[in-house]
Chain A
Amino acid sequence: MAETNIRRVALIGGVRIPFCRAHGPYGDLTNLEMLTTALNGLVERFSLEGAHIDEVTGGAVVTHAKDWNLAREAVIGTKLAPTTPGITMMQACGTSLQAALGMGAKIATGQIECAIACGSDSVSDTPIVFQRKFAQRLVKLSRSRSIINKLSVFKGFSLSELAPVPPGVNEPRTGLGMGQHCELMAQEWGIGREEQDLLAYESHKKASAAYEAGFLDDLLVPCAGVYRDNNLRDDIDLEDMANLKTVFERSNRGTLTAANSTPLTDGASAVLLGSEEWANARGLPILAYLTHAQTAAIDFVAGEGLLMAPTVAVSKMLDQAELTLQDFDFYEIHEAFAAQVLCTLKAWESAQYCKEVLGKDKPLGAIDRKKMNVFGSSLAFGHPFAATGGRILGSLAKQLASKTKARGLISVCTAGGMGVSAILESAVEKNSPVKAGSTDLQTESTDSSLSGHSGPGGTVN
Chain B
Amino acid sequence: MTDNPQANIDALKDWRFEIDFEGIAWAVFDCEGETMNTLGRRPTEELMAIVARVEDAADKGEARGLVITSGKDTNFIAGADIREFDDLAAGEDMEEALSTTIALFDRIEKLRVPVVAAIHGFCLGGGLELAMACHYRIATREEGTRLGFPEVKLGIFPGLNGTVRSIELAGAMDAMGIMLTGRMVRPGPARAIGIVDQLVATHHRLRWAARKAVLQKRKSKGAPWWKRLLRKAPFRKYLAKKMRQKTSEKVREDHYPAPFKLIELFETFGDSRRRLKPAETTAFVPLMAGETAGNLRRVFRLMEMLKKEVPGETFKPRRVHVIGAGTMGADIAAWCVVCGMEASLQDLNEEQLVKAQARAKKLFRKRLKTKQAVDAAVARLISDPDGKHIPRADVVIEAIVENLEIKQKVFAGIEPKLKAGAILATNTSSLQIEDIAKTLKDPGRLIGLHFFNPVPQLPLVEVILGAGSLDTEVRKGCAFVTAIKKFPLIVKSCPGFLVNRVLAPYMLDGARRYQEGEPRDKIDQAAVKFGMPMGPLELSDVVGLDICKHVAETLKLGPMDDSELDRLVKNGKLGKKTGEGFYVWSKGKPKRQQATFDEEELEELGRDLVKPMLDECERALAERIVESEDHVDAGVIFGTGFAPFRGGPLHYRKQMKGGAAEAA
Q: Which partner residue on chain B sits nearest A211 by CB separation?
A: B392
B interface residues, tally (CB under 8 Å)? 21
Quick check: is B376 within 8 A (CB to CB) of the other chain? Answer: yes
**Contacting residues, chain B, for A192 (C-beta < 8 A):** none
Instruction: Mark interface residues in B418-459 (1 if CB within 8 Å of A CB, else 0).
Output: 011100000000000000000000000000000000000000
Whether the pair A214, B391 counts as a contact (CB closer than 8 A) is yes
Quick check: is A291 within 8 A (CB to CB) of the other chain? Answer: no
Whether the pair B204, A437 counts as a contact (CB closer than 8 A) is no
**Contacting residues, chain B, for A28 (C-beta < 8 A):** 370, 372
Distance to closest chain A CB from B339 (angstroms): 10
A interface residues, tally (CB under 8 Å)? 21
Quick check: is A48 within 8 A (CB to CB) of the other chain? Answer: no
Quick check: is A363 within 8 A (CB to CB) of the other chain? Answer: no
Q: Which partner residue on chain A sits nearest B370 by CB separation?
A: A28
Whether the pair B389, A212 counts as a contact (CB closer than 8 A) is yes
Distance to closest chain A CB from B528 (angstroms): 39
Cross-interface CB contact of A228 among B373, B377, B379, cutoff 8 Å: B379
Whether the pair A25, B421 counts as a contact (CB closer than 8 A) is no
Stretch at the interface among A217-225, A335-343, A353-361, A378-386: A217-225
Quick check: is B380 within 8 A (CB to CB) of the other chain? Answer: yes
Instruction: Mark interface residues in A217-238 (1 if CB within 8 Å of B CB, else 0).
Output: 1000010111110100000000
Whether the pair B392, A214 counts as a contact (CB closer than 8 A) is yes
In the complex, A121 Cα to B388 Cα: how many Å?
A: 32
In the complex, A455 Cα to B415 Cα: how many Å?
A: 22
Quick check: is B318 within 8 A (CB to CB) of the other chain? Answer: yes
Quick check: is B95 within 8 A (CB to CB) of the other chain? Answer: no
Quick check: is B402 within 8 A (CB to CB) of the other chain? Answer: no
Residues of chain B from 361 to 420 with CB closer than 8 A to chain A in the complex? 370, 372-373, 375-377, 379-380, 388-389, 391-392, 419-420
Quick check: is A77 within 8 A (CB to CB) of the other chain? Answer: yes
Given known pairs A77-B202, A212-B388, the reply for A225 and B373 (CB within 8 Å) is: yes
Whether the pair B376, A224 counts as a contact (CB closer than 8 A) is yes
Distance to closest chain B CB from A108 (angstroms): 34
Q: Which partner residue on chain A sits nearest B420 by CB separation?
A: A437
Whether the pair A226, B421 counts as a contact (CB closer than 8 A) is no
Quick check: is B340 within 8 A (CB to CB) of the other chain? Answer: yes
In the complex, A300 Cα to B370 Cα: how many Å?
A: 45
Whether the pair B389, A24 counts as a contact (CB closer than 8 A) is no
Residues of chain B from 161 to 200 with CB closer than 8 A to chain A in the complex? none
Q: Which partner residue on chain B sits nearest A217 by CB separation?
A: B392
Most chain A beta-carbon neighbours within 10 Å: one of B319, B342, B376, B419: B376
Quick check: is A191 within 8 A (CB to CB) of the other chain? Answer: no
Quick check: is A190 within 8 A (CB to CB) of the other chain? Answer: no
Instruction: Mark interface residues in A415-441 (1 if CB within 8 Å of B CB, else 0).
Output: 000000000000000000000011000
Whether the pair B372, A25 counts as a contact (CB closer than 8 A) is yes
Distance to closest chain B CB from A168 (angstroms): 28
**Contacting residues, chain B, for A227 (C-beta < 8 A):** 318, 342, 379-380
Whether the pair B392, A225 counts as a contact (CB closer than 8 A) is no
Instruction: Mark interface residues in A10-30 (1 if CB within 8 Å of B CB, else 0).
Output: 000000000000001111100
**Contacting residues, chain B, for A224 (C-beta < 8 A):** 372-373, 376
In the complex, A77 Cα to B140 Cα: how many Å?
A: 14
**Contacting residues, chain B, for A90 (C-beta < 8 A):** none
Whether the pair B389, A25 counts as a contact (CB closer than 8 A) is no
In the complex, A214 Cα to B388 Cα: how many Å?
A: 10
Cross-interface CB contact of A226 among B204, B319, B376, B392, cutoff 8 Å: B376
Given known pairs A27-B372, A28-B372, the reply for A230 and B379 (CB within 8 Å) is: yes
Quick check: is A138 within 8 A (CB to CB) of the other chain? Answer: no
Whether the pair B204, A76 counts as a contact (CB closer than 8 A) is yes
Q: Which partner residue on chain A sits nearest B372 by CB separation?
A: A25
Q: Which partner residue on chain B sits nearest A439 by CB separation?
A: B420
Residues of chain B from 548 to 568 with CB closer than 8 A to chain A in the complex? none
**Contacting residues, chain B, for A458 (C-beta < 8 A):** 420
Distance to closest chain A CB from B482 (angstroms): 19
Residues of chain B from 204 to 257 with CB closer than 8 A to chain A in the complex? 204
Instruction: Mark interface residues in B330-363 (1 if CB within 8 Å of A CB, else 0).
Output: 0000000000101000000000000000000000
In the complex, A212 Cα to B373 Cα: how many Å?
A: 24
Distance to closest chain A CB from B389 (angstroms): 7
**Contacting residues, chain A, for B340 (C-beta < 8 A):** 222, 225
Residues of chain B from 103 to 132 with CB closer than 8 A to chain A in the complex? none
Most chain B beta-carbon neighbours within 10 Å: one of A27, A226, A228: A226
Given known pairs A77-B202, A214-B391, A217-B392, the reply for A226 and B379 (CB within 8 Å) is: yes
In the complex, A10 Cα to B68 Cα: how many Å?
A: 46
Distance to closest chain A CB from B456 (angstroms): 17
Distance to closest chain B CB from A15 (angstroms): 13
Residues of chain B from 310 to 333 with CB closer than 8 A to chain A in the complex? 318-319
In the complex, A225 Cα to B380 Cα: how many Å?
A: 8
In the complex, A76 Cα to B380 Cα: how many Å?
A: 30
**Contacting residues, chain A, for B380 (C-beta < 8 A):** 225-228
In the complex, A28 Cα to B318 Cα: how many Å?
A: 24
Cross-interface CB contact of B421 among A76, A214, A230, A437, cutoff 8 Å: A437
Residues of chain A from 9 to 60 with CB closer than 8 A to chain B in the complex? 24-28
In the complex, A196 Cα to B340 Cα: how many Å?
A: 37
**Contacting residues, chain A, for B420 (C-beta < 8 A):** 437-438, 458
Distance to closest chain A CB from B527 (angstroms): 41
Residues of chain B from 250 to 290 with CB closer than 8 A to chain A in the complex? none
Whether the pair A24, B375 counts as a contact (CB closer than 8 A) is yes
Q: Which partner residue on chain B sits nearest A26 by CB separation?
A: B372
Most chain B beta-carbon neighbours within 10 Å: one of A222, A437, A438: A222
**Contacting residues, chain A, for B375 (C-beta < 8 A):** 24-25
Q: Which partner residue on chain B sits nearest A27 by CB separation?
A: B372
Cross-interface CB contact of A225 among B318, B377, B419, cutoff 8 Å: B377
Distance to closest chain B CB from A169 (angstroms): 24
Distance to closest chain B CB from A266 (angstroms): 12
Q: Which partner residue on chain B sits nearest A436 by CB separation?
A: B420
Q: Which partner residue on chain B sits nearest A230 by CB separation?
A: B379
Distance to closest chain B CB from A83 (angstroms): 15
Cross-interface CB contact of B419 among A77, A222, A226, A437, cutoff 8 Å: A437
In the complex, A217 Cα to B341 Cα: how many Å?
A: 13
Whether the pair A225, B204 counts as a contact (CB closer than 8 A) is no
**Contacting residues, chain B, for A228 (C-beta < 8 A):** 342, 379-380
Whether the pair B318, A222 counts as a contact (CB closer than 8 A) is yes
Q: Which partner residue on chain B sits nearest A225 by CB separation?
A: B376
**Contacting residues, chain B, for A26 (C-beta < 8 A):** 372
In the complex, A226 Cα to B392 Cα: how many Å?
A: 16
Q: Which partner residue on chain B sits nearest A29 by CB separation?
A: B372
23 contacts between A and B (CB under 8 A): A24-B375, A26-B372, A28-B370, A77-B202, A212-B389, A212-B392, A213-B391, A214-B391, A222-B318, A222-B342, A225-B372, A225-B373, A225-B376, A225-B380, A226-B379, A226-B380, A227-B379, A227-B380, A228-B342, A437-B421, A438-B391, A438-B419, A458-B420
Told that A224-B372, A438-B419 touch, could you supply 8 new A-B pairs with CB distance under 8 A? A24-B372, A24-B375, A217-B392, A222-B318, A224-B373, A225-B373, A227-B342, A438-B420
Q: Which A residues fall within an 8 A CB radius of B?
A: 24-28, 76-77, 212-214, 217, 222, 224-228, 230, 437-438, 458
> Closest 6 interchain pairs by CB?
A225-B376, A214-B392, A227-B342, A437-B420, A226-B376, A25-B376
